[in-house]
Structure 1
Amino acid sequence: MQTVSEALAAAAAGVDYLGLTPSNRGLPGEIDFATAREIADALKGKAQRVALSVESDLGAIADMVAAVQPDVLHLCGNISLVTPEQVRVLREKLLPLYPQLRILQAIPMTGPEALDHAAAFEPYSDLFILDSVAAHIGGIGAAGVTHDWSLSREIVKRSKLPVILAGGLGPDNVAAAIAAVQPWAVDSLTHTNKPLPEGGFRKDIDKIAAFVKAAGAA
Protein backbone atom coordinates (compact mmCIF):
# COMPACT_ATOMS: atom_id res chain seq x y z
CA MET A 1 0.00 0.00 0.00
CA GLN A 2 1.31 3.45 -0.91
CA THR A 3 -1.52 5.81 0.08
CA VAL A 4 -4.22 5.92 2.76
CA SER A 5 -7.02 5.84 0.17
CA GLU A 6 -5.52 2.81 -1.56
CA ALA A 7 -5.12 0.96 1.74
CA LEU A 8 -8.68 1.71 2.85
CA ALA A 9 -10.01 0.54 -0.51
CA ALA A 10 -8.06 -2.72 -0.27
CA ALA A 11 -9.34 -3.30 3.26
CA ALA A 12 -12.90 -2.63 2.07
CA ALA A 13 -12.34 -5.20 -0.69
CA GLY A 14 -11.79 -7.82 2.00
CA VAL A 15 -8.03 -8.01 2.46
CA ASP A 16 -7.10 -9.11 6.00
CA TYR A 17 -3.38 -8.21 6.02
CA LEU A 18 -2.03 -5.18 4.16
CA GLY A 19 1.64 -4.69 3.39
CA LEU A 20 3.77 -1.56 3.62
CA THR A 21 7.35 -1.13 2.40
CA PRO A 22 8.91 1.63 4.54
CA SER A 23 12.35 2.00 2.93
CA ASN A 24 14.68 4.17 0.87
CA ARG A 25 16.30 1.40 -1.17
CA GLY A 26 14.27 1.67 -4.37
CA LEU A 27 12.13 -1.36 -3.53
CA PRO A 28 8.83 -1.98 -5.36
CA GLY A 29 6.13 0.21 -3.84
CA GLU A 30 8.36 1.66 -1.13
CA ILE A 31 7.24 4.66 0.93
CA ASP A 32 8.87 6.78 3.62
CA PHE A 33 8.37 6.05 7.31
CA ALA A 34 5.96 8.95 7.84
CA THR A 35 3.67 7.83 5.02
CA ALA A 36 3.79 4.24 6.30
CA ARG A 37 2.79 5.40 9.78
CA GLU A 38 -0.07 7.49 8.36
CA ILE A 39 -1.39 4.44 6.48
CA ALA A 40 -0.90 2.17 9.50
CA ASP A 41 -2.85 4.57 11.71
CA ALA A 42 -5.68 4.80 9.16
CA LEU A 43 -5.93 1.00 8.96
CA LYS A 44 -6.16 0.40 12.70
CA GLY A 45 -9.09 -1.90 13.37
CA LYS A 46 -9.71 -2.41 9.64
CA ALA A 47 -6.84 -4.77 8.72
CA GLN A 48 -3.60 -6.11 10.12
CA ARG A 49 -0.72 -3.76 9.27
CA VAL A 50 2.37 -5.54 7.90
CA ALA A 51 5.67 -3.65 7.53
CA LEU A 52 8.28 -5.22 5.28
CA SER A 53 12.04 -5.00 5.77
CA VAL A 54 14.97 -6.21 3.66
CA GLU A 55 17.51 -4.62 6.01
CA SER A 56 20.26 -6.71 7.60
CA ASP A 57 21.07 -4.22 10.37
CA LEU A 58 18.92 -5.05 13.39
CA GLY A 59 19.01 -1.46 14.63
CA ALA A 60 17.61 -0.23 11.32
CA ILE A 61 14.81 -2.79 11.51
CA ALA A 62 14.00 -1.74 15.09
CA ASP A 63 13.96 1.93 14.06
CA MET A 64 11.45 1.17 11.30
CA VAL A 65 9.18 -0.74 13.70
CA ALA A 66 9.32 2.18 16.16
CA ALA A 67 8.40 4.64 13.41
CA VAL A 68 5.61 2.66 11.75
CA GLN A 69 4.15 0.63 14.67
CA PRO A 70 2.96 -2.34 12.58
CA ASP A 71 1.09 -5.40 13.82
CA VAL A 72 3.43 -7.68 11.86
CA LEU A 73 7.12 -7.33 10.94
CA HIS A 74 7.75 -9.05 7.60
CA LEU A 75 11.43 -10.02 7.37
CA CYS A 76 12.32 -10.67 3.75
CA GLY A 77 15.99 -9.79 3.51
CA ASN A 78 18.96 -12.06 2.86
CA ILE A 79 18.65 -15.02 5.24
CA SER A 80 22.41 -15.50 5.27
CA LEU A 81 22.64 -12.03 6.89
CA VAL A 82 19.48 -12.08 9.04
CA THR A 83 19.92 -15.63 10.29
CA PRO A 84 17.66 -17.51 12.71
CA GLU A 85 19.97 -16.42 15.52
CA GLN A 86 19.65 -12.79 14.40
CA VAL A 87 15.87 -13.11 14.39
CA ARG A 88 16.05 -14.47 17.93
CA VAL A 89 18.06 -11.42 19.01
CA LEU A 90 15.65 -9.09 17.19
CA ARG A 91 12.69 -10.78 18.82
CA GLU A 92 14.21 -10.36 22.29
CA LYS A 93 14.82 -6.69 21.52
CA LEU A 94 11.38 -5.87 20.08
CA LEU A 95 8.81 -7.94 21.95
CA PRO A 96 9.27 -6.29 25.36
CA LEU A 97 8.57 -2.94 23.64
CA TYR A 98 5.80 -4.18 21.32
CA PRO A 99 4.25 -7.26 22.94
CA GLN A 100 1.58 -7.64 20.23
CA LEU A 101 4.12 -7.62 17.37
CA ARG A 102 4.36 -10.79 15.31
CA ILE A 103 7.30 -11.76 13.11
CA LEU A 104 6.51 -12.97 9.61
CA GLN A 105 9.59 -14.71 8.20
CA ALA A 106 9.97 -15.02 4.45
CA ILE A 107 11.33 -18.34 3.21
CA PRO A 108 13.01 -18.18 -0.22
CA MET A 109 11.49 -20.97 -2.30
CA THR A 110 14.57 -21.69 -4.38
CA GLY A 111 14.63 -25.47 -3.99
CA PRO A 112 14.58 -28.29 -1.41
CA GLU A 113 16.80 -26.24 0.92
CA ALA A 114 13.68 -24.21 1.72
CA LEU A 115 12.56 -27.07 3.98
CA ASP A 116 15.71 -26.69 6.08
CA HIS A 117 15.39 -22.90 6.20
CA ALA A 118 11.82 -23.16 7.47
CA ALA A 119 12.82 -25.62 10.18
CA ALA A 120 15.66 -23.35 11.31
CA PHE A 121 13.51 -20.19 11.49
CA GLU A 122 10.44 -21.80 13.03
CA PRO A 123 11.43 -21.37 16.72
CA TYR A 124 11.82 -17.60 16.30
CA SER A 125 8.92 -16.78 13.96
CA ASP A 126 5.17 -16.40 14.36
CA LEU A 127 4.23 -16.89 10.72
CA PHE A 128 5.92 -17.92 7.48
CA ILE A 129 5.52 -16.50 4.00
CA LEU A 130 6.77 -18.79 1.23
CA ASP A 131 7.88 -16.59 -1.63
CA SER A 132 9.66 -16.66 -4.96
CA VAL A 133 12.98 -14.90 -5.59
CA ALA A 134 14.10 -12.80 -8.58
CA ALA A 135 17.70 -11.78 -9.18
CA HIS A 136 16.75 -8.19 -10.07
CA ILE A 137 14.70 -7.56 -6.89
CA GLY A 138 16.31 -6.99 -3.49
CA GLY A 139 15.24 -9.50 -0.85
CA ILE A 140 12.67 -12.29 -1.01
CA GLY A 141 9.47 -11.66 -2.96
CA ALA A 142 8.05 -9.26 -5.58
CA ALA A 143 9.29 -11.71 -8.21
CA GLY A 144 5.91 -12.14 -9.89
CA VAL A 145 6.48 -15.84 -10.60
CA THR A 146 5.29 -19.05 -8.99
CA HIS A 147 7.58 -21.67 -7.50
CA ASP A 148 7.38 -25.40 -6.76
CA TRP A 149 4.11 -25.71 -4.86
CA SER A 150 4.94 -29.27 -3.79
CA LEU A 151 7.75 -27.85 -1.65
CA SER A 152 5.37 -25.27 -0.21
CA ARG A 153 2.89 -28.03 0.60
CA GLU A 154 5.61 -29.95 2.44
CA ILE A 155 6.43 -26.92 4.60
CA VAL A 156 2.72 -26.48 5.39
CA LYS A 157 2.57 -30.13 6.48
CA ARG A 158 5.74 -29.95 8.61
CA SER A 159 5.34 -26.54 10.26
CA LYS A 160 3.32 -25.70 13.35
CA LEU A 161 3.15 -22.05 12.22
CA PRO A 162 0.51 -20.42 10.01
CA VAL A 163 1.93 -20.43 6.48
CA ILE A 164 1.16 -17.80 3.83
CA LEU A 165 1.71 -18.78 0.20
CA ALA A 166 3.08 -16.03 -2.04
CA GLY A 167 4.79 -15.78 -5.41
CA GLY A 168 3.05 -15.07 -8.69
CA LEU A 169 -0.49 -15.42 -7.36
CA GLY A 170 -3.43 -13.62 -8.95
CA PRO A 171 -7.19 -14.07 -9.39
CA ASP A 172 -6.63 -16.67 -12.14
CA ASN A 173 -4.41 -19.14 -10.24
CA VAL A 174 -5.10 -18.61 -6.52
CA ALA A 175 -7.72 -21.38 -6.37
CA ALA A 176 -5.27 -23.89 -7.86
CA ALA A 177 -2.58 -22.70 -5.45
CA ILE A 178 -4.86 -23.17 -2.45
CA ALA A 179 -5.85 -26.65 -3.63
CA ALA A 180 -2.21 -27.66 -4.11
CA VAL A 181 -0.68 -26.14 -0.97
CA GLN A 182 -3.55 -25.76 1.53
CA PRO A 183 -1.92 -22.72 3.16
CA TRP A 184 -3.28 -20.65 6.03
CA ALA A 185 -3.43 -17.59 3.78
CA VAL A 186 -2.45 -16.35 0.32
CA ASP A 187 -0.60 -13.23 -0.77
CA SER A 188 -0.62 -11.18 -3.96
CA LEU A 189 1.55 -8.29 -5.11
CA THR A 190 2.59 -8.28 -8.76
CA HIS A 191 -0.56 -9.78 -10.26
CA THR A 192 -2.89 -7.34 -8.52
CA ASN A 193 -0.86 -4.28 -9.52
CA LYS A 194 -1.67 -1.57 -12.05
CA PRO A 195 1.60 -0.42 -13.70
CA LEU A 196 2.08 3.33 -14.06
CA PRO A 197 3.33 4.86 -17.33
CA GLU A 198 6.24 6.56 -15.54
CA GLY A 199 7.22 3.36 -13.74
CA GLY A 200 6.13 1.97 -10.40
CA PHE A 201 2.57 0.84 -9.72
CA ARG A 202 -0.59 1.31 -7.75
CA LYS A 203 -2.88 -1.48 -6.62
CA ASP A 204 -5.71 -2.57 -8.92
CA ILE A 205 -8.66 -2.69 -6.51
CA ASP A 206 -10.82 -4.63 -9.00
CA LYS A 207 -8.14 -7.32 -9.29
CA ILE A 208 -7.77 -7.37 -5.50
CA ALA A 209 -11.51 -7.89 -5.12
CA ALA A 210 -11.38 -10.71 -7.70
CA PHE A 211 -8.43 -12.27 -5.84
CA VAL A 212 -10.28 -12.12 -2.51
CA LYS A 213 -13.39 -13.64 -4.09
CA ALA A 214 -11.45 -16.46 -5.78
CA ALA A 215 -9.48 -17.24 -2.61
CA GLY A 216 -12.62 -17.24 -0.50
CA ALA A 217 -14.43 -19.56 -2.91
CA ALA A 218 -11.47 -21.97 -2.82
Structure 2
Amino acid sequence: MLAQIYEIQIPQEAEKCIALGVDRIGSVLLSAEEWKQPAIRDVLTLTKGTHATNSLIPLFNDWDTLCRAMDYYRPHFVHFCETLTDAKANPIDLTRLILLQEKLKNAFPEIGIVRSIPVPAPGLAPEFPCLDLVRSFESVSDFLLIDTWLGKEPVEGFVGITGKLPDLKRALKAVLQSSIPVILAGGLSPENVFDALIEVLPAGADSCTHTNQVDASGRAIRFKKDFMKVEKFVKEIRRAEAAMPSVKEQMQKHLAELSEELQLRIAALPAHSVRPQQLLAIEDLEEEIALTEKKLRRLNISK
Protein backbone atom coordinates (compact mmCIF):
# COMPACT_ATOMS: atom_id res chain seq x y z
CA MET A 1 0.00 0.00 0.00
CA LEU A 2 1.20 3.44 -0.94
CA ALA A 3 2.07 5.84 1.89
CA GLN A 4 1.74 9.42 0.67
CA ILE A 5 2.48 12.63 2.59
CA TYR A 6 1.49 16.03 1.23
CA GLU A 7 2.61 19.63 1.53
CA ILE A 8 6.33 18.90 1.64
CA GLN A 9 7.80 22.17 0.40
CA ILE A 10 11.46 21.98 1.43
CA PRO A 11 14.13 19.30 0.84
CA GLN A 12 14.90 18.90 4.55
CA GLU A 13 11.37 17.61 5.17
CA ALA A 14 11.53 15.44 2.05
CA GLU A 15 14.71 13.77 3.34
CA LYS A 16 12.99 12.90 6.62
CA CYS A 17 9.96 11.50 4.79
CA ILE A 18 12.14 9.29 2.61
CA ALA A 19 14.02 8.01 5.67
CA LEU A 20 10.69 7.09 7.31
CA GLY A 21 9.57 5.04 4.32
CA VAL A 22 7.09 7.43 2.68
CA ASP A 23 6.40 6.17 -0.84
CA ARG A 24 5.17 9.36 -2.48
CA ILE A 25 5.96 12.92 -1.47
CA GLY A 26 3.56 15.66 -2.48
CA SER A 27 4.22 19.37 -2.91
CA VAL A 28 1.89 22.26 -3.78
CA LEU A 29 2.23 25.22 -6.14
CA LEU A 30 0.01 27.80 -4.49
CA SER A 31 -0.53 30.12 -7.45
CA ALA A 32 0.15 30.59 -11.15
CA GLU A 33 1.93 33.85 -10.37
CA GLU A 34 4.50 32.12 -8.15
CA TRP A 35 4.75 28.80 -9.97
CA LYS A 36 8.56 28.72 -9.97
CA GLN A 37 9.79 27.64 -6.53
CA PRO A 38 13.41 26.39 -6.44
CA ALA A 39 12.93 24.75 -3.02
CA ILE A 40 10.08 22.64 -4.36
CA ARG A 41 12.15 21.65 -7.37
CA ASP A 42 14.85 20.55 -4.91
CA VAL A 43 12.23 18.36 -3.18
CA LEU A 44 11.33 16.67 -6.45
CA THR A 45 14.97 16.25 -7.48
CA LEU A 46 15.77 14.70 -4.09
CA THR A 47 13.29 11.87 -4.57
CA LYS A 48 14.79 10.76 -7.87
CA GLY A 49 17.06 7.77 -7.39
CA THR A 50 15.32 6.78 -4.14
CA HIS A 51 12.41 4.40 -3.46
CA ALA A 52 10.08 7.42 -3.30
CA THR A 53 8.19 9.16 -6.08
CA ASN A 54 6.97 12.76 -6.11
CA SER A 55 3.67 14.43 -6.86
CA LEU A 56 2.92 18.07 -7.61
CA ILE A 57 -0.40 19.89 -7.15
CA PRO A 58 -0.75 23.08 -9.20
CA LEU A 59 -3.54 25.26 -7.80
CA PHE A 60 -4.11 26.55 -11.32
CA ASN A 61 -4.86 25.01 -14.71
CA ASP A 62 -3.78 27.68 -17.17
CA TRP A 63 -2.25 25.69 -20.02
CA ASP A 64 0.83 27.81 -20.72
CA THR A 65 1.78 28.13 -17.05
CA LEU A 66 1.10 24.44 -16.50
CA CYS A 67 3.47 23.51 -19.33
CA ARG A 68 6.19 25.79 -17.99
CA ALA A 69 5.78 24.19 -14.57
CA MET A 70 5.99 20.66 -16.00
CA ASP A 71 9.17 21.55 -17.90
CA TYR A 72 10.70 23.14 -14.81
CA TYR A 73 9.81 20.48 -12.23
CA ARG A 74 9.48 17.26 -14.29
CA PRO A 75 7.43 15.55 -11.55
CA HIS A 76 6.63 11.87 -11.48
CA PHE A 77 2.96 12.83 -11.03
CA VAL A 78 0.87 15.95 -11.49
CA HIS A 79 -2.19 16.06 -9.27
CA PHE A 80 -5.36 17.99 -10.10
CA CYS A 81 -7.86 18.67 -7.31
CA GLU A 82 -10.66 20.95 -8.51
CA THR A 83 -13.95 20.45 -6.64
CA LEU A 84 -15.78 19.11 -9.78
CA THR A 85 -19.24 20.22 -8.57
CA ASP A 86 -20.76 23.49 -7.43
CA ALA A 87 -21.12 24.32 -3.74
CA LYS A 88 -24.52 22.59 -3.63
CA ALA A 89 -23.15 19.35 -5.12
CA ASN A 90 -24.71 19.97 -8.52
CA PRO A 91 -22.78 18.58 -11.52
CA ILE A 92 -20.79 21.00 -13.66
CA ASP A 93 -19.41 20.69 -17.18
CA LEU A 94 -16.17 18.71 -16.85
CA THR A 95 -15.22 18.75 -20.53
CA ARG A 96 -12.47 21.33 -20.18
CA LEU A 97 -10.79 19.50 -17.30
CA ILE A 98 -10.98 16.13 -19.06
CA LEU A 99 -9.54 17.59 -22.26
CA LEU A 100 -6.80 19.32 -20.24
CA GLN A 101 -5.69 15.97 -18.83
CA GLU A 102 -5.74 14.36 -22.28
CA LYS A 103 -3.71 17.24 -23.70
CA LEU A 104 -1.21 17.11 -20.85
CA LYS A 105 -0.72 13.36 -21.24
CA ASN A 106 0.00 13.84 -24.94
CA ALA A 107 2.47 16.65 -24.22
CA PHE A 108 4.16 14.94 -21.24
CA PRO A 109 3.53 11.19 -21.55
CA GLU A 110 6.16 10.38 -18.92
CA ILE A 111 4.26 12.30 -16.20
CA GLY A 112 1.51 10.38 -14.41
CA ILE A 113 -1.80 12.11 -13.71
CA VAL A 114 -3.65 11.97 -10.39
CA ARG A 115 -7.20 13.31 -10.11
CA SER A 116 -8.93 14.03 -6.81
CA ILE A 117 -12.47 12.68 -6.60
CA PRO A 118 -14.49 14.53 -3.97
CA VAL A 119 -16.55 12.40 -1.59
CA PRO A 120 -18.76 14.21 0.93
CA ALA A 121 -18.29 13.97 4.66
CA PRO A 122 -20.83 11.66 6.36
CA GLY A 123 -24.36 13.03 6.21
CA LEU A 124 -23.70 15.56 3.46
CA ALA A 125 -25.11 15.59 -0.09
CA PRO A 126 -26.63 12.10 -0.33
CA GLU A 127 -27.02 12.44 -4.12
CA PHE A 128 -23.41 13.53 -4.70
CA PRO A 129 -22.20 12.11 -8.06
CA CYS A 130 -19.10 10.28 -6.75
CA LEU A 131 -19.36 7.33 -9.12
CA ASP A 132 -20.12 9.53 -12.12
CA LEU A 133 -16.92 11.46 -11.39
CA VAL A 134 -14.93 8.23 -11.20
CA ARG A 135 -16.31 7.21 -14.60
CA SER A 136 -15.52 10.63 -16.07
CA PHE A 137 -11.87 10.72 -15.04
CA GLU A 138 -10.56 7.16 -14.77
CA SER A 139 -9.77 6.90 -18.49
CA VAL A 140 -7.65 10.09 -18.45
CA SER A 141 -5.89 9.49 -15.10
CA ASP A 142 -3.28 7.10 -13.72
CA PHE A 143 -4.50 7.36 -10.12
CA LEU A 144 -7.59 8.71 -8.43
CA LEU A 145 -7.50 10.17 -4.93
CA ILE A 146 -10.58 10.35 -2.75
CA ASP A 147 -10.74 13.56 -0.72
CA THR A 148 -13.40 15.08 1.49
CA TRP A 149 -16.01 17.46 0.06
CA LEU A 150 -17.72 19.93 2.38
CA GLY A 151 -19.40 22.34 -0.06
CA LYS A 152 -17.40 25.25 1.31
CA GLU A 153 -13.77 24.24 0.96
CA PRO A 154 -10.73 25.64 2.81
CA VAL A 155 -9.23 26.62 -0.57
CA GLU A 156 -12.01 27.89 -2.82
CA GLY A 157 -12.45 25.83 -5.97
CA PHE A 158 -10.26 22.97 -4.77
CA VAL A 159 -10.90 19.92 -2.62
CA GLY A 160 -8.61 19.05 0.28
CA ILE A 161 -7.02 20.01 3.62
CA THR A 162 -10.34 19.73 5.48
CA GLY A 163 -8.99 17.52 8.24
CA LYS A 164 -12.26 15.57 8.03
CA LEU A 165 -12.95 12.01 6.92
CA PRO A 166 -15.09 11.37 3.86
CA ASP A 167 -18.07 9.04 4.03
CA LEU A 168 -16.16 5.75 4.00
CA LYS A 169 -19.09 3.76 2.62
CA ARG A 170 -19.21 6.01 -0.45
CA ALA A 171 -15.42 5.94 -0.63
CA LEU A 172 -15.55 2.13 -0.78
CA LYS A 173 -18.06 2.29 -3.64
CA ALA A 174 -15.71 4.62 -5.54
CA VAL A 175 -12.77 2.25 -4.99
CA LEU A 176 -14.78 -0.74 -6.19
CA GLN A 177 -16.08 1.23 -9.20
CA SER A 178 -12.66 2.41 -10.39
CA SER A 179 -10.60 0.55 -12.97
CA ILE A 180 -7.42 2.32 -11.81
CA PRO A 181 -5.74 2.57 -8.37
CA VAL A 182 -7.42 4.83 -5.81
CA ILE A 183 -5.66 6.51 -2.89
CA LEU A 184 -7.71 7.37 0.19
CA ALA A 185 -7.26 10.86 1.65
CA GLY A 186 -9.25 13.27 3.78
CA GLY A 187 -8.83 13.51 7.53
CA LEU A 188 -6.58 10.48 7.82
CA SER A 189 -4.35 10.35 10.88
CA PRO A 190 -2.11 7.81 12.62
CA GLU A 191 -5.11 7.03 14.83
CA ASN A 192 -7.69 6.25 12.13
CA VAL A 193 -5.81 5.21 9.00
CA PHE A 194 -5.64 1.49 9.84
CA ASP A 195 -9.41 1.11 10.24
CA ALA A 196 -10.10 3.28 7.19
CA LEU A 197 -7.82 1.17 5.00
CA ILE A 198 -9.44 -2.07 6.17
CA GLU A 199 -12.90 -0.64 5.42
CA VAL A 200 -12.22 1.05 2.06
CA LEU A 201 -9.50 -1.22 0.56
CA PRO A 202 -7.70 1.50 -1.44
CA ALA A 203 -4.29 1.30 -3.09
CA GLY A 204 -2.83 3.59 -0.45
CA ALA A 205 -3.38 6.42 2.01
CA ASP A 206 -2.55 10.10 2.01
CA SER A 207 -2.07 12.48 4.92
CA CYS A 208 -1.65 16.22 5.08
CA THR A 209 -3.40 18.02 7.95
CA HIS A 210 -3.15 15.36 10.66
CA THR A 211 0.58 14.80 10.24
CA ASN A 212 1.31 18.51 10.63
CA GLN A 213 2.65 20.25 13.70
CA VAL A 214 0.03 22.13 15.71
CA ASP A 215 0.06 25.56 17.32
CA ALA A 216 -0.74 26.42 20.95
CA SER A 217 -4.48 26.25 20.23
CA GLY A 218 -4.18 22.81 18.61
CA ARG A 219 -4.64 23.99 15.02
CA ALA A 220 -2.54 22.38 12.31
CA ILE A 221 0.33 24.46 10.95
CA ARG A 222 0.51 24.18 7.17
CA PHE A 223 3.79 23.08 5.58
CA LYS A 224 5.35 21.99 8.89
CA LYS A 225 5.38 18.27 9.55
CA ASP A 226 5.44 16.44 12.85
CA PHE A 227 7.70 13.53 11.95
CA MET A 228 6.65 11.39 14.89
CA LYS A 229 3.15 11.51 13.39
CA VAL A 230 4.51 10.78 9.92
CA GLU A 231 6.42 7.77 11.25
CA LYS A 232 3.35 6.39 13.00
CA PHE A 233 1.17 7.04 9.93
CA VAL A 234 3.51 5.01 7.73
CA LYS A 235 3.68 2.20 10.31
CA GLU A 236 -0.12 2.02 10.48
CA ILE A 237 -0.30 1.71 6.69
CA ARG A 238 2.21 -1.14 6.83
CA ARG A 239 0.17 -2.78 9.60
CA ALA A 240 -2.96 -2.57 7.45
CA GLU A 241 -1.05 -3.99 4.51
CA ALA A 242 0.12 -6.93 6.62
CA ALA A 243 -3.45 -7.53 7.82
CA MET A 244 -4.92 -7.86 4.32
CA PRO A 245 -4.37 -11.64 3.95
CA SER A 246 -6.36 -12.15 7.16
CA VAL A 247 -9.04 -9.72 5.95
CA LYS A 248 -9.29 -11.67 2.71
CA GLU A 249 -9.59 -14.97 4.58
CA GLN A 250 -12.40 -13.57 6.74
CA MET A 251 -14.20 -12.29 3.64
CA GLN A 252 -13.95 -15.67 1.94
CA LYS A 253 -15.41 -17.34 5.03
CA HIS A 254 -18.20 -14.75 5.19
CA LEU A 255 -18.95 -15.25 1.49
CA ALA A 256 -19.28 -19.00 1.98
CA GLU A 257 -21.66 -18.44 4.90
CA LEU A 258 -23.75 -15.98 2.88
CA SER A 259 -23.93 -18.35 -0.08
CA GLU A 260 -25.04 -21.20 2.16
CA GLU A 261 -27.71 -19.04 3.78
CA LEU A 262 -28.94 -17.93 0.36
CA GLN A 263 -29.34 -21.51 -0.81
CA LEU A 264 -31.22 -22.44 2.36
CA ARG A 265 -33.60 -19.51 1.97
CA ILE A 266 -34.26 -20.33 -1.68
CA ALA A 267 -34.89 -23.98 -0.82
CA ALA A 268 -37.31 -22.95 1.93
CA LEU A 269 -39.50 -20.85 -0.38
CA PRO A 270 -43.01 -22.29 -0.71
CA ALA A 271 -44.20 -23.31 -4.14
CA HIS A 272 -47.00 -20.76 -3.90
CA SER A 273 -47.78 -17.58 -1.99
CA VAL A 274 -44.21 -16.36 -1.48
CA ARG A 275 -44.19 -13.50 1.01
CA PRO A 276 -42.59 -10.17 0.01
CA GLN A 277 -40.40 -10.31 3.13
CA GLN A 278 -38.93 -13.60 1.96
CA LEU A 279 -38.02 -12.15 -1.43
CA LEU A 280 -36.55 -9.02 0.17
CA ALA A 281 -34.37 -11.15 2.46
CA ILE A 282 -33.06 -13.05 -0.57
CA GLU A 283 -32.38 -9.80 -2.45
CA ASP A 284 -30.47 -8.42 0.54
CA LEU A 285 -28.34 -11.56 0.68
CA GLU A 286 -27.65 -11.38 -3.05
CA GLU A 287 -26.55 -7.74 -2.70
CA GLU A 288 -24.24 -8.57 0.21
CA ILE A 289 -22.76 -11.48 -1.74
CA ALA A 290 -22.14 -9.23 -4.75
CA LEU A 291 -20.45 -6.60 -2.56
CA THR A 292 -18.25 -9.18 -0.84
CA GLU A 293 -17.23 -10.62 -4.22
CA LYS A 294 -16.26 -7.12 -5.41
CA LYS A 295 -14.17 -6.59 -2.28
CA LEU A 296 -12.37 -9.89 -2.84
CA ARG A 297 -11.64 -8.96 -6.45
CA ARG A 298 -10.23 -5.66 -5.21
CA LEU A 299 -7.96 -7.47 -2.75
CA ASN A 300 -6.77 -9.82 -5.50
CA ILE A 301 -5.93 -6.87 -7.77
CA SER A 302 -3.96 -5.09 -5.04
CA LYS A 303 -1.72 -8.06 -4.20
TM-score by length of 1: 0.88
Judge conservation of contact 1:54–1:78 (CA < 8 Å) in 2: no
SS at match of 2:194: helix
Q: What's the counterpart of residue 36 of structure 1?
A: 40
SS at match of 1:208: helix
Residues 79-124 of structure 1: per-residue CA shift (max 9 Å, x gap): 2599653344334433344322111000111244111111111111
Q: CA–CA distance in 1 between the matches of 2:235 and 2:12?
A: 21
Matched, 1:11 2:18: yes
Q: CA–CA distance in 1 between the matches of 2:10 and 2:72?
A: 17
Judge conservation of contact 2:29–2:59 (CA < 8 Å) in 1: no
Q: What's the counterpart of residue 214 of structure 1?
A: 236
Judge conservation of contact 1:55–1:77 (CA < 8 Å) in 2: no
Q: What's the counterpart of residue 121 of structure 1?
A: 137
- After TM superposition, the structure 1 = structure 2 runs for residues 121-160 of structure 1, keeping only pairs within 5 Å, are 121-134=137-150, 135-138=152-155, 139-160=158-179
Q: Which letter maps to 1:107? A: I
Matched, 1:106 2:116: yes
Q: How many aligned positions are there?
A: 214
Judge conservation of contact 2:189–2:233 (CA < 8 Å) in 1: yes
- After TM superposition, the structure 1 = structure 2 runs for residues 53-72 of structure 1, keeping only pairs within 5 Å, are 53-72=58-77
SS at match of 1:77: coil
* Alpha carbons of structure 1 residues 84 and 122: separation in structure 2 relative to 1, 3 Å: farther
**Structure with bigger gyration radius:** 2
* Alpha carbons of structure 1 residues 79 and 56: separation in structure 2 relative to 1, 3 Å: farther
Judge conservation of contact 1:84–1:121 (CA < 8 Å) in 2: no
SS at match of 1:18: strand
Q: Percent identity?
A: 31
Q: Which of 56, 63, 83 does residue 51 from structure 1 map onto? A: 56
Alpha-carbon RMSD: 2.4
Judge conservation of contact 1:132–1:147 (CA < 8 Å) in 2: yes
Q: CA–CA distance in 1 between the matches of 2:222 and 2:201?
A: 32
SS at match of 1:109: strand
Structure (1/2) with the larger helix percentage:
2
Alignment gaps of 5+ in structure 1: none
Alignment gaps of 5+ in structure 2: 1-7, 87-91, 241-303
Q: Which of 224, 247, 252 does residue 202 from structure 1 map onto? A: 224
Q: What's the counterpart of residue 30 of structure 2?
A: 23
Judge conservation of contact 1:72–1:101 (CA < 8 Å) in 2: yes
Matched, 1:79 2:84: yes
Q: CA–CA distance in 1 between the matches of 2:223 and 2:75?
A: 23
Q: CA–CA distance in 2 between the matches of 1:45 and 1:132?
A: 33
Q: Which stretch shifts more, 66-75 or 199-208?
A: 199-208
Q: What's the counterpart of residue 164 of structure 1?
A: 183
TM-score by length of 2: 0.65
